[in-house]
């Protein structure tokens, strides 16, 4: 609460001091309570386990300010599970999700500095993971050049855990340094493409300041018409892991959607390379890592494949999917997705020392959305996953069974004040 009060005074001072600059100011919030019934979410269930049930909530307060030279945002949030604090106990829990300023340096050039979400393309490599109540943000800078048909963004970050007097050792598990270059070109009203190159560096250990660099580059092609959407994506990854293994990994995705009479139907494939388990002595690491993307959006809502190298024992992932969206009533729509997951390369069963089958699981996700108004939305979802033996081996759960997950979420985004 103390932080919110301080922020409020700062923003109030900004308004008063800038009245002569035609400043715009808004104060808006987000309330996102979500009930979940977990019986195999992220980890396979079995007969010995009881389902989990709880309510989590994100509460955000966003201060947005702009004038002819500056755009800025300060976003404070509280994330909690209902009941996770003892009554009458003062437990500080307010965090800073965003705190950035975007300076207009020229008509087409600007510089954005501070804690910010990095969201590019379809969230494949850089996304804000908005499904997670905490969300993801970075302490970074982004220089931007933007014209009517072309955009170029150059960004970077350098992380430290404190204001050291000596050394730059970094003990946390985040990247120590990151830089990226993003380019978008709009060809015409139907076609555009983007390119992204990103490097991130990780320290070898808590005391050795040596850094290993990973490089990822690729792009997307989009075609959109009134009834048809096509997207192709491809990335290649190289560099070294923190174990000094040489990286040579890749991924590609192809998808198409067709719209007609309130329906949107589509299908696609995501293909992420994996390690060769038959040659464990090699120094080459070939499992593709999706870096800082929103994997919840792509690889099944039950989140069994959030960290793909870890969640597939390095075997990579092939996801063949089909989906359908139907606007069946005013302000109502339904989304139904089907996924067939398999390993890109078979892994070794540690019990039998033999290669596994590649099949991992099949998953069905159903989401109903009711948009009551522009600032009120209600969603309910149900997912069901049928595991194959390979997923049971990866998770170390030989007795793993069919799993399910049910959730319901309310999203309210009120605007408390606007100077417009």
pLDDT at residue 316 greater than cutoff 90: yes
Q: Residue 59 falls within a domain, yes or no?
A: yes
Q: If pLDDT is split at 50, 70 and 90, which confidence band does 365 have?
A: very high
pLDDT exceeds 50 at position 20: no
Looking at residue 104, its pLDDT comes to 96
Query: Exposed (0-12), middle (13-18) or buried (19+): which is 159, by Cβ within 10 Å?
Result: middle
pLDDT in the model for residue 11: 52
Q: What is the pLDDT of residue 88?
A: 86
Closest CA to 417 of 27, 18, 14: 27
- The C-alpha atoms of residue 105 and residue 188 are separated, in whole angstroms, by 28
| Domain-located, residue 12 | no
CA distance 176 to 167: 13
pLDDT at residue 199 greater than cutoff 60: yes
Which residues contact residue 89 at a Cβ distance below 8 angstroms, ignoring those fewer than 6 apart? none
Distance CA 298, CA 321 (A): 10
What residues form DSSP beta bridges with 79?
58
Taking the alpha carbons at both ends of the chain, their separation in whole angstroms is 27
- Tell me which residue has tokens 């490097």: 199
Residues 130, 120 contacting (CB under 8 angstroms): no
pLDDT single digits (tens) 367-417: 999 999 999 999 999 999 999 999 999 999 999 999 999 999 999 999 999
pLDDT at residue 276 greater than cutoff 60:
yes
The residue range of the domain holding 134 is: 23-418
Return d(Cα 26, Cα 62) in angstroms, integer. Answer: 8
- pLDDT of residue 7 exceeding 80, the answer is no
Rounded Cα distance between 281 and 183, Å, is 39
> What is the C-alpha to C-alpha distance for residues 77 and 331, in angstroms, rounded to an integer?
29
Determine whether 40 is exposed, middle or buried from the number of CB atoms within 10 Å of its CB (0-12, 13-18, 19+).
buried
d(CA 291, CA 288): 9
Residue 8 in domain: no
Q: β-strand 52-66 against 70-81: which pairing, if any?
A: antiparallel
pLDDT at residue number 3: 54
Once rounded to an integer, what is the mean pLDDT over residues 271-280? 88
Cα gap 96→29, rounded to integer Å? 14
pLDDT (tens digit per residue) in 230-272: 999 999 999 999 999 999 999 999 999 999 999 999 999 999 9
CATH code, 110: 2.40.160.100
Looking at residue 14, what is its pLDDT? 53
- pLDDT above 50 (res 351): yes
List, in sequence order, the alpha helices (H) in 145-224.
none
Task: Write out pLDDT tens, residues 73-130.
Answer: 999 999 999 999 998 887 878 999 999 999 999 999 999 999 999 999 999 999 999 9
- 279's CB contacts (< 8 A; 6+ apart) are none
pLDDT, average across residues 329-337: 96
**Ramachandran bin of 415, using left for φ above 0, alpha for ψ from -120 to 50, beta for the remaining angles:** beta
Cβ atoms of 234 and 204 within 8 Å: the answer is no
Residues 142-171: tens digit of each pLDDT: 999 999 999 999 999 999 999 989 888 888
Q: In this structure, are residues 73 and 66 in contact, taking their beta carbons and an 8 Å threshold?
A: no
Domain assignment present for residue 65? The answer is: yes
Q: For residue 8, is pLDDT > 70?
A: no
Mean pLDDT of 344-369: 94
Whether residue 13 is contained in a domain is answered as: no
What is the arithmetic mean of pLDDT over 7-27?
61
DSSP string, 305-370: TSSHHHHTTT--EEEEEEEEEEEEETTEEEEEEEEEEE-SS--B-TTT-SBPPSEEEEEEEEEEEE
- Domain membership flag for residue 386: yes
Does a structural domain hold residue 17?
no
* pLDDT confidence of residue 412: 98
Q: How many helices (H) and strands (E) does the chain have?
A: 3, 20
* Residue 257 vs residues 226, 228, 235, 293, 363: alpha-carbon distances, Å: 11, 6, 22, 22, 20
On whether residue 381 sits in a domain, the answer given is: yes
How many distinct structural domains can be found in the chain? 1
């Amino acid at each position: 609460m103390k932080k919110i009060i301080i922020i409020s005074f700062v923003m109030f001072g900004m308004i008063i001091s800038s009245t002569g600059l035609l400043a715009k100011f808004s104060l808006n919030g987000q309330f996102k309570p979500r009930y979940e019934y977990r019986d195999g979410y992220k980890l396979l269930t079995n007969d010995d386990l009881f389902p989990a049930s709880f309510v989590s909530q994100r509460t955000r307060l966003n201060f947005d300010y702009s004038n002819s030279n500056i755009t800025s945002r300060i976003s404070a949030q509280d994330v909690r599970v209902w009941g996770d604090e003892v009554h009458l106990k003062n437990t500080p829990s307010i965090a800073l999700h965003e705190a950035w300023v975007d300076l207009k340096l020229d008509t087409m050039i600007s510089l954005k500095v501070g804690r910010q979400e990095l969201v590019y393309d379809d969230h494949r490599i850089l996304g804000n993971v908005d499904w997670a109540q905490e969300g993801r943000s970075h302490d970074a800078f982004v220089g931007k050049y933007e014209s009517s048909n072309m955009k170029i963004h150059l960004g970077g970050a350098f992380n430290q855990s404190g204001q050291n007097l000596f050394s730059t050792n970094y003990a946390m598990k985040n990247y120590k340094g990151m830089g990226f270059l993003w380019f978008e070109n709009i060809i015409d009203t139907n076609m555009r493409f983007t390119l992204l190159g990103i490097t991130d560096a990780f320290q070898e250990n808590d005391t050795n300041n040596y850094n290993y660099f990973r490089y990822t580059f690729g792009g997307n092609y989009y075609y959109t018409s009134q009834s048809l959407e096509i997207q192709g994506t491809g990335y290649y990854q190289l560099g070294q892991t923190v174990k000094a293994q040489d990286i040579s990994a890749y991924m590609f995705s192809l998808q198409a959607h067709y719209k007609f009479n309130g329906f949107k139907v589509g299908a696609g494939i995501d293909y992420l390379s994996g390690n060769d388990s038959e040659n464990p002595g090699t120094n080459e690491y070939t499992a593709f890592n999706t870096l800082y993307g929103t994997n919840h959006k792509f690889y099944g809502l039950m989140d069994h494949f959030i960290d793909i190298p870890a969640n597939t024992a390095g075997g990579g992932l092939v996801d063949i999917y089909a989906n359908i969206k139907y606007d069946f009533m005013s302000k109502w729509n339904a989304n139904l997705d089907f996924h067939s997951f398999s390993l890109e390369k078979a892994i070794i069963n540690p019990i039998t020392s033999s290669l596994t089958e590649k099949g991992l699981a099949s998953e069905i996700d159903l989401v109903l959305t009711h948009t009551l108004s522009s600032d009120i939305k209600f969603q309910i979802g149900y997912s069901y996953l049928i595991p194959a033996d390979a997923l049971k081996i990866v998770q170390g759960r030989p007795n793993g069974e069919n799993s399910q997950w049910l959730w319901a979420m309310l999203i309210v985004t009120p605007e408390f004040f606007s100077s417009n």
